[in-house]
Structure 1
Amino acid sequence: MFLIDELIALLAANLILSQALGTSTMFIAADSKKNMLATSCIITIFTTLGSVGAYFIDSLLPDQLADLRLLLYTVIIGVLYVVMLTVSYYAGKGWFADFRKYIHVSAFNCAVMGTLFTISGKAAEDSSSFDLGWYISAGFEAGIGFVIAALLLAAAYRKLNSAKVPEAFRGFPAMLVYLGIISMAVYSLK
């Protein structure tokens, strides 16, 4: 059920909320197979490694300072961002040129931050979930949820942007209707 919850949250956050800011990671990911694979892998890395940081923040941060959680999660993601850019730069200039855009798009994506807060909230509700292994597993599952959401979007991306769709409805409006229907179908599995 956690994967289904994450899938619904990712669809809503990435396609509705981030579109208002002028970017949508999932549209970038669904544009081509290379984009989808690279973006999905990098977001999975961010959610998995970020969940490790979230575990340590949640276990070491006193309840009186819980309001600092957002700031500390942002610092963790920022550190991961710099580390991934540095590693990719030293791995090879060609590799860096190819993958830095995916790192930029993925690092401060609402899917990554939302995953950390979702994991933290679930661990707070159920103290048996409060261990490092569970955090890593939940972070990885959220990344896989993004892959599944990107696959669902990629399946319809070209058809919803084709000339067969009326011009006023083509693109983002058609995608929202498609995602609404998919979200209801997935939510019914819950």
Structure 2
Amino acid sequence: MFLIDELIALLAANLILSQALGTSTMFIAADSKKNMIATSCVITVFTTLGSAAAYLIDSLLPTSAADLRLLFYTAVIGILYIIMLTASYFAGRKWFADFRKYIHVSAFNCAVMGTLFTISGRAEDYSIAFDLGGYVFAGFEAGLGFIVAALILAAAYRKLNSAKVPASFRGFPAMLVYLGIISMAVYSLK
């Protein structure tokens, strides 16, 4: 059920906030199979490692300073961003040239930050069930939710951008309507 909840969060929230929680990144990912695989994998790495760091932040940060979580989460994602760029650079120039755009698009994506806050909020509600493993698993699961959402978008990307769709509706508007319909369908499964 968690995966469905994350998918609903990714898709339904984007109807209101069109750039939030990774919609624009999912459009980039849906453009080609290579983009989809690379972007989804990088976002999954960010959500998984970021969730581990969020566990440490949540356990060390006193409740009186909970408002500082955004600052610490942003710093952690920034550090992960630098580490991933550095690692890809030292892995080879070709690797760096191929993957830096995916790292750039994924690092400060709202899907990553939204995942950290969602997991943190869930941990506050169910503190017994959330230890380091729970945070990491939830982050990995959110990354998988992003992959599923990207697959759903990729299935319709070409058809929604074809000449059969009116020019004024083609692209982003058609994709938002499609996301809304898919969100309602997935929400009905809940």
2:166 is aligned with 1:166: yes
Task: Give 1:14 shift.
Answer: 5.7
Residue number in structure 2 paired with 1:178: 178
In 2, are the aligned partners of 1:43 and 1:143 still within 8 Å (CA)?
yes
Task: Give 1:5 shift.
Answer: 1.4
1:114-138 deviation digits (Å, cap 9, x = unpaired) = 0000000000001122201100100
Compare 63-72 and 124-133 and name the one that shifted more: 124-133
Residue number in structure 2 paired with 1:77: 77
Residue number in structure 2 paired with 1:148: 148
| Structure 1 residues 1-16: aligned runs within 5 Å | 1-13=1-13
Question: What letter corresponds to residue 7 of structure 1 in structure 2?
Answer: L
Runs ≥4 in structure 1, deviation > 2 angstroms? Answer: 11-20
Question: What letter corresponds to residue 72 of structure 2 in structure 1?
Answer: L
Compare 169-178 and 157-166 and name the one that shifted more: 169-178
Question: What letter corresponds to residue 82 of structure 2 in structure 1?
Answer: V
Task: Give 1:2 shift.
Answer: 1.4
Task: Give 1:185 shift.
Answer: 0.6
Task: Give 1:12 shift.
Answer: 4.1
Question: What letter corresponds to residue 151 of structure 1 in structure 2?
Answer: L
Call closer, same or farther: CA 1:47–1:95 in 2, change over 3 Å: same
**Distance between the aligned counterparts of 2:140 and 2:58, measured in 1?**
18
In 1, are the aligned partners of 2:47 and 2:115 still within 8 Å (CA)?
yes
For the aligned residue pairs, the C-alpha RMSD in angstroms reads 1.5
Call closer, same or farther: CA 1:26–1:62 in 2, change over 3 Å: same
Structure 1: segments with no counterpart, 5+ residues: none
**Distance between the aligned counterparts of 2:171 and 2:52, measured in 1?**
37
In 1, are the aligned partners of 2:11 and 2:180 still within 8 Å (CA)?
no
Compare 66-75 and 1-10 and name the one that shifted more: 1-10
Aligned length: 188
1:67-111 deviation digits (Å, cap 9, x = unpaired) = 100000000100000000000000000100000000000000000
Residue number in structure 2 paired with 1:42: 42
Question: What letter corresponds to residue 77 of structure 2 in structure 1?
Answer: I
2:100 is aligned with 1:105: no
In 2, are the aligned partners of 1:14 and 1:111 still within 8 Å (CA)?
no
**Distance between the aligned counterparts of 2:151 and 2:60, measured in 1?**
37
Structure 2: segments with no counterpart, 5+ residues: none
User: Helix, strand or coil: the match of 2:5?
Assistant: helix
2:61 is aligned with 1:56: no
Question: What letter corresponds to residue 19 of structure 1 in structure 2?
Answer: Q
